[in-house]
Amino acid sequence: MSFIQYLKDTRSELNHVAWPTRMQTIIYTILVIALSILVSLYLGFFDYVFTTGLARVIEILPQNTPAFVPEATSTPVSATTTQL
């Protein structure tokens, strides 16, 4: 099959397609935009709620810092051992 024949077949098949009218295209476009905005607001709301709730829970939890950290000694280990 040649490329020219492929283009002819494609064009003839496109004549059989039931294309939407201009008004249908406008209505469907408005519906897609409106639904996209509604879904983004819905997800944004729950993201805000969960993020704020998690931040408040983290603020309430006690800090996990140790009460006392011993300092390392500056003398080497061999100096503290006694010789036999």
The answer to whether residue 44 is domain-embedded is yes
The answer to whether residue 27 is domain-embedded is yes
Q: How confident is the model at residue 61 (pLDDT cuts 50, 70, 90)?
A: confident
The answer to whether residue 38 is domain-embedded is yes
Q: Which long-range contacts (CB under 8 A, 24 or more apart) does 26-35 make?
A: none
The per-residue pLDDT for 59 is 86
The answer to whether residue 73 is domain-embedded is no
The arithmetic mean of pLDDT across residues 32-56, rounded, is: 96
The answer to whether residue 28 is domain-embedded is yes
User: Nearest to residue 26, comparing CAs of 17, 34, 36?
Assistant: 34
What is the tally of structural domains in the chain?
A: 1
The per-residue pLDDT for 84 is 59
Residue 36, pLDDT > 60, answer yes
